């Protein structure tokens, strides 16, 4: 039985009875694409089934250990998939799965017809190799913590032991992959569907090393495969004729137009019909809204992303909770959103965005809400009256977008105006920023986090639970917070589970483990010929999986 995961169900998912996609014979006159998928009746000719959009040039397509900044998840299929509109768990490389009564032993039955793009079968052994590789500390995978619910995974990844066999997963046979978690884990299907958990081709990695995702070397297992990568220009994907699973695409080609540092590619490229979608920066919103044509193509959609300030809570002066509380209360979020972001965003006073599972309203609004007088009192109590004696510190910024730099500058000015302190802004390349964040070297850092799956564990448990340097994203520690998210992660009663997360979030907000600034709203331009768009329950037009998109005929 298939059903949408819900916080009202004790395990979230019961079972999947999905089977590999078997396309019926096309009726007379129906168009099929190059891999035999029947096209919608309003689809444009196959020669026009090309989708183009802009991305930063990735360092690699190796999602197994380099998920940050890598679009490689589109050419590798994990065990399961999550519907981006309904959050329903769907078949991927596995056509069904089951779990033990205690919620600890998870058994995935792989599609027996699954193939790699070079024709080899996709097997359970591929997943054992890939998941162990993702946990190997030598690979320095920043998302290794995703696998920590698996028994032995954390011990192996954090070098408590050097034996990968302690990680409790195995190939029962060629097409049965079994995983044992330390405790019951109601959100484990989301991990199995995460874009960083697909298999990778061992034989190519052993032959080519880090170069295995380059042209003519990349072997994948999803509907699309790498056709060619032209450095500094574009990456082209094409349909993989070997793929016979349930997630076949309509589009003949997907072209990632690469935006390199200092590149002039932007809105003009979309206006010149060289892109089918374009993510609009808030700074460009005025121009877009004033243009009759562009304004009709503009889409605004709330996304599960919170922008916050990571704080080095273990070092002075930020180890003083009064300093952190003052910094939080000195930010006028509503003014920032109104003036800098042109109204695109909602104030954040805790980690979970509005309409997110487990979000229980404005329970914590007073803790970090704008209160300049209260901020001044706290700063004086901390020994910095009027900012006197406060050391000059840096606010690190990860993205190069002009709107984000302006957000940082607005926060800098608010802190100067309310607290009398001087904070310098430092731009950092994304990988450098992330490496330093995991090493807890950043005093203050403005960073976004987008939910990886629709469950509070993604944005609270896996993100904020304390851990050693190199494994945990933040230095903040709270024994009680850790206890609560650990309880929640294995709790099968949904009401009790959400209550644990709610109490944990309250601690995070009150202790100012991070300074929460705003929840983001996506601004995107979409060409009218882009079809397959679906509506969310809230009435927003959502881009579905790339395999559902197609180019429609001009009306």
Q: Is residue 506's pLDDT more than 70?
A: yes
Residues 187 and 309 in one domain: no
Burial class (CB in 10 A: 0-12, 13-18, 19+), 426: middle
pLDDT band for position 167 (50/70/90)? Answer: very high
pLDDT band for position 262 (50/70/90)? Answer: low
Structure-block tokens of residue 395: 């606010």
Mean pLDDT of the chain: 91
CA 242/CA 143 separation, integer angstroms: 29
Domain end, chosen from 161, 193, 213, is at 213
User: Do the domain assignments include residue 110?
Assistant: yes
User: Residue 539's CB: how many other CB atoms inside 10 A?
Assistant: 6
Mean pLDDT of 92-107: 96
Contact 373, 538 (CB under 8 A): no
DSSP 284-345: GHHHHHHSHHHHHHEEEEEEEEEEEEEE-TTSTTTTSHHHHHHHHHT--HHHHHHHTSTT-S
Contact 447, 307 (CB under 8 A): yes
Which regions of 83-165 does DSSP assign to beta strands (E)? 89-91, 94-99, 105-110
CA 378/CA 355 separation, integer angstroms: 32
Cα angle for residues 340, 346, 349 (degrees, 5° grid): 110
Q: Which distant-in-sequence residues (6+ apart) come within 8 Å of 143 by Cβ?
A: 67, 68, 134, 196
The 8-class DSSP code of residue 22 comes to: -
Residues 206 and 347 in one domain: no
Residues 370 and 512 in one domain: yes
Burial class (CB in 10 A: 0-12, 13-18, 19+), 337: buried
CA 209/CA 449 separation, integer angstroms: 30
Residues 319 and 445 in one domain: yes
Contact 182, 151 (CB under 8 A): yes
β-pairing, 346-347 with 298-311?
unpaired
User: Do the domain assignments include residue 29?
Assistant: no
Q: Is residue 69's pLDDT more than 70?
A: no
**Rg of the chain over CA atoms, in angstroms?**
24
> What would the pLDDT profile of 356-410 be if each residue is shown by its tens digit?
888 865 667 788 999 999 999 999 999 999 999 999 999 999 988 889 999 999 9
Residue among 554, 523, 515 nearest 540 (CA): 523
Residues 188 and 336 in one domain: no
The 8-class DSSP code of residue 416 comes to: H
User: Do the domain assignments include residue 139?
Assistant: yes
Residues 449 and 351 in one domain: yes
Q: Which distant-in-sequence residues (6+ apart) come within 8 Å of 435 by Cβ?
A: none
User: Do the domain assignments include residue 419?
Assistant: yes
User: Do the domain assignments include residue 296?
Assistant: no
CATH code for position 204: 3.90.76.10
CATH code for position 425: 3.10.105.10
User: Do the domain assignments include residue 49?
Assistant: no
Number of domains in the chain: 2
Residues 366 and 496 in one domain: yes
Residues 171 and 62 in one domain: yes
Mean pLDDT of 522-534: 95
CA 428/CA 395 separation, integer angstroms: 10
Contact 476, 493 (CB under 8 A): no
Q: Is residue 210's pLDDT more than 70?
A: yes
Q: Which residue has the tokens 């009256």?
A: 385
Residues 207 and 107 in one domain: yes
pLDDT for the residue 16: 38
Structural domain span for residue 80: 58-213
Residues 88 and 192 in one domain: yes
CA 432/CA 425 separation, integer angstroms: 15
Q: Considering the entire predicted model, what is its pTM?
A: 0.87
Mean pLDDT of 121-125: 98
Residues 208 and 88 in one domain: yes
User: Residue 78's CB: how many other CB atoms inside 10 A?
Assistant: 24
pLDDT for the residue 555: 66
pLDDT band for position 1 (50/70/90)? Answer: very low
pLDDT for the residue 8: 34
User: Do the domain assignments include residue 284?
Assistant: no
Q: Is residue 548's pLDDT more than 90?
A: yes
User: Residue 209's CB: how many other CB atoms inside 10 A?
Assistant: 8
User: Do the domain assignments include residue 465?
Assistant: yes
> What would the pLDDT profile of 133-166 be if each residue is shown by its tens digit?
999 999 988 889 889 999 999 999 999 999 999 9
> What would the pLDDT profile of 34-63 be if each residue is shown by its tens digit?
999 999 999 999 999 999 999 988 889 998
> What would the pLDDT profile of 3-32 be if each residue is shown by its tens digit?
233 333 334 433 433 333 434 456 667 899
CA 508/CA 242 separation, integer angstroms: 48
């Amino acid at each position: 039985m298939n059903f949408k995961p819900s916080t009202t169900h004790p395990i979230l998912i019961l079972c999947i009875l999905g089977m590999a996609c078997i396309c019926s014979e096309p009726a007379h006159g129906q168009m099929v694409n190059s891999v035999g998928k029947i096209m919608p009746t309003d689809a444009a000719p196959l020669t026009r089934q090309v989708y183009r959009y802009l991305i930063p040039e990735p360092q690699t397509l190796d999602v197994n250990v380099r998920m940050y900044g890598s679009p490689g998840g589109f050419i590798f299929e994990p065990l399961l998939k999550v519907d981006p509109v309904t959050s329903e768990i769907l078949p991927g490389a596995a056509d069904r799965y089951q779990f033990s009564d205690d919620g600890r032993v998870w058994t995935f039955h792989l599609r027996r017809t699954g193939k790699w793009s070079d024709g080899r079968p996709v097997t359970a052994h591929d997943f054992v190799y890939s998941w162990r590789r993702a946990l190997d500390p030598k690979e320095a995978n920043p998302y290794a913590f995703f696998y920590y619910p698996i028994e032995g995974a954390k011990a192996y990844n954090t070098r408590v032991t050097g034996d990968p066999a302690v990680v409790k997963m195995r190939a029962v046979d060629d097409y049965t992959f079994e995983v044992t978690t330390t405790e019951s884990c109601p959100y484990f299907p989301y991990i199995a569907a995460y874009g960083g958990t697909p298999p990778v081709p061992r034989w190519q990695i052993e032959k080519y090393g880090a170069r295995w995702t380059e042209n003519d070397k990349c072997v994948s297992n999803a509907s699309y495969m790498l056709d060619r990568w032209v450095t500094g220009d574009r990456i082209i994907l094409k349909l993989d004729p070997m793929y016979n699973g349930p997630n076949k695409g309509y589009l003949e080609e997907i072209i990632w137009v690469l935006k390199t540092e200092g590149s002039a590619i932007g809105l003009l490229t979309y206006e010149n019909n060289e892109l089918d979608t374009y993510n609009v920066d808030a700074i460009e919103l005025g121009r877009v809204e004033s243009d009759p044509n562009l304004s009709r193509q503009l889409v605004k959609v709330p996304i599960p992303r919170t922008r916050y300030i990571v704080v080095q809570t273990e070092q002075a002066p930020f180890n003083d909770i009064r300093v952190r509380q003052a910094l939080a209360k000195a930010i006028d979020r509503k003014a920032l959103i109104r003036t800098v972001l042109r109204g695109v965003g909602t104030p954040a006073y805790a980690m979970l965005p509005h309409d997110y599972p487990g979000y229980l309203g404005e329970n914590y609004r007073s803790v970090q809400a704008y209160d300049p007088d209260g901020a001044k009192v706290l700063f004086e109590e901390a020994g910095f009256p009027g900012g006197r004696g406060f050391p000059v510190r840096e606010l690190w910024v990860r993205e190069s977008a002009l709107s984000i730099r302006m957000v940082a500058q607005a926060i800098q000015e608010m802190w100067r105006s309310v607290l009398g302190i001087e904070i310098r802004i430092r731009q950092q390349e994304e990988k450098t920023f992330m490496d330093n964040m995991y090493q807890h070297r950043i005093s203050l850092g403005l960073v976004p986090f987008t939910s990886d799956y629709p469950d509070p564990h993604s944005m609270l448990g896996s993100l904020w639970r304390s851990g050693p340097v190199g494994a945990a994203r933040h230095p903040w520690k709270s024994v009680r917070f850790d206890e609560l998210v650990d309880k929640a992660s294995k709790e099968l009663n949904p009401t009790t589970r959400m209550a644990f997360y709610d109490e944990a979030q309250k601690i995070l907000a009150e202790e100012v483990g991070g300074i929460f600034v705003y929840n983001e709203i996506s601004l995107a331009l979409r060409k009218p010929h882009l079809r397959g768009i679906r509506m969310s329950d809230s009435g927003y037009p959502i881009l579905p999986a790339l395999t559902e998109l197609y180019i429609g005929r001009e009306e």
